[in-house]
Chains A and B, each alone.
Chain A
Amino acid sequence: MTKTKTHPTINKAELPTWCELSGAVISAPGSSTCIETGTWRTYMPIRDAEKCIQCMRCWIYCPDSAIIVEDGKVVGIDYEHCKGCGICAKECTPKDKAIVMKEEIK
């Protein structure tokens, strides 16, 4: 699973005061990866590696780049950023789906 990067402002224990901000700009590139959008999820995709045929459709369609691929193969789901939209489960090729959506247990 991808570990969320630390960010000078987003991951600070205390957010900057208005005096500390340099205008309404993001000056540290790539900071969107520091936002844990996984907390928005109400349904989570559960992937069964044995049923997966590595068609890569989940990786192609995932709007949040939350399908983890290593050496050309799907190996897992980035739950820090997966919002639980369910597109991966919908697009999953096998008749007996390799990805299914399950309600989050809070």
Chain B
Amino acid sequence: MKENLLESGVRSSEDRGVLQYAPTHDTRLGTQTRVALTGNDAVALAFKQVDPDVAAVYPITPQTELMHKFADYVSNGEVHTELMLVESEHSAMSASIGASAAGARTITATSSQGLALMWEMLYIAASYRLPIVMVDVNRALSGPLNIHCDHSDTMGCRDTGLIQLFSENSQEAYDNTIQAFRIAEHPDVQLPVMVTLDGFIISHTVEALKVFDDEVVKAFVGEYEPLRSLLDTDNPITMGPLDLPNYYFEHKRQQVEAMERSRKVISTVGNEFEKISGRKYGFFEPYKLDDAELAIVLLGSTAGTAKDAVDLLREEGIKAGLLKLRVFRPFPGRQIIKALANVRAVGIFDRSISFGLEGGPLFNEVRSFAFESNFKMASFIYGLGGRDINVAQIRDVFLTLKEIKDTGRTDIPVQYIGLRE
């Protein structure tokens, strides 16, 4: 079934940013088809529709099916992509760096240990300013060995210099993947972009989503014209030479600037994407936050469960709300605080841990911007190693927040949701 979709799927968002750039790509509302796909298949389809030049990959659960599906597209001749089956994730990112430096539109995907093995190369991809688009299917890091979802892999590389986009469901994983190319390749940005989707919960779950015709995606991302290329023999350059104390610091400052400039680009691309899709994309999605007294902030697939919990509490007369963060890097701290300005108590959900630091990474990042705000905060760790979380547990969190609001307590220790205690 095909339909034009301006009227459907539109969500509210307070943080729209300002559209500054004139559209350089086709931004007419595109034809969409409703299909049922797993998250992995949805991302593979987005990759197929973009038709990148090079993909360098190594299989790892739960990402494997993603590139398995993409390999089908390659084998069937549906894309022109050079698929490089390398011997490890370190090599996958290294090959991606080489391909991108040579001027190829380059993709890769991984999970967990694979991302950990890419670690040193992630810094290199970012510092060479290579617009690689990579997908991380979130999975807990070993050890002990675990294949299920948490965000410890993505959080571990939050300082590598990659832009990081989180997805609530297959639709957002598909949409984020398409937008990632425009963000990464923008002349003001030139940074690798990581799109994440929760392992198994999104990657292996079949969901209905709306997908574009191939040509709509191709028109949106446009032809890739690299700013510089090692294969451009008329303009020879060297990438990756020794960067001694007299230059390294300046290059790091440039990365800071690129990350800052990406904020405007992420907003602009989100706005242009809304025009072709009817779906809004900002730095975060506020859900029933306008008049909320209690709110939670979280990332990824748990937002769906949390929305149900918010609805339930609203029926009970409790003014609950949700802020679902989409962009973790660059971190929209000031906007988050602004969006939470009227909230009295906020629970920050982390699906990862920062050992030795009170509370999870997201909690600490939000708290670092909250020094002038009036709300009370508490840290909630949940879902590690794929531990399930349900509506009742999130409702309990809101009741804890209500107690914090009523008593003004600020000494609530870190809470572990669903832990046997």
Contact = CB atoms under 8 A, between A and B. Distances in A.
Contacts of A31: 238
Contact of A27 (B128, B235, B243): B235
A72 interface: no
Nearest to B250: A18
B241 A26 contact: yes
A27 B237 contact: yes
Contact of B237 (A15, A16, A17, A25): A25
Given A23-B190, A24-B127, A18 B238 contact: no
Contacts of A25: 128, 228, 237-239
Contacts of B243: 24
A23 B240 CA distance: 11
Contacts of B228: 23, 25
- Chain A, interface size: which category? 10 to 19
Contacts of B235: 27
Contacts, number: 43
A60 interface: no
B254 interface: yes
Interface in A13-44: 15-18, 21, 23-27, 29, 31
Interface in B220-269: 228, 235-241, 243, 246-247, 249-251, 253-254, 257
A15 B246 contact: yes
A16 B128 CA distance: 18
Contact of A18 (B127, B246, B253): B253
A24 B250 CA distance: 9
B115 to A, nearest CB: 23
A29 B236 contact: yes
Contacts of B236: 29
Main DSSP-derived SS at the B contact region:
loop
B236 to A, nearest CB: 5
Given A15-B246, A29-B236, A24 B253 contact: no
Contacts of A18: 249-251, 253-254, 257
Contacts of B241: 26
A21 B254 contact: yes
B250 A16 contact: yes
Contacts of B246: 15
Contacts of B254: 18, 21, 23-24
Pick the most buried of A21, A23, A29: most chain B CB atoms within 10 A of its CB.
Answer: A23
B129 interface: yes
A23 B129 contact: yes
B238 A26 contact: yes
A25 B235 CA distance: 12
Contact of A15 (B247, B253, B257): B247
A47 B243 CA distance: 34
A24 B237 contact: no
A31 B251 CA distance: 18
Nearest to A24: B251
Most chain A Cβ neighbours within 10 Å, of B240, B243, B247, B249: B247
A29 B238 contact: yes
Nearest to B246: A15
A31 B236 CA distance: 12
A34 B240 CA distance: 18
Contacts of A23: 128-129, 190, 228, 251, 254
A27 B128 CA distance: 13
A34 to B, nearest CB: 12
A21 B238 contact: no
Interface string A3-20: 000000000000111100
Interface of B: 127-129, 190, 228, 235-241, 243, 246-247, 249-251, 253-254, 257
Nearest 6 pairs of A and B residues by beta carbon: A18-B250, A26-B238, A18-B253, A24-B251, A29-B236, A25-B237
16 contacts: A17-B250, A18-B253, A18-B257, A21-B247, A21-B251, A23-B228, A24-B127, A24-B128, A24-B129, A24-B247, A24-B254, A25-B239, A26-B238, A26-B241, A27-B235, A27-B237
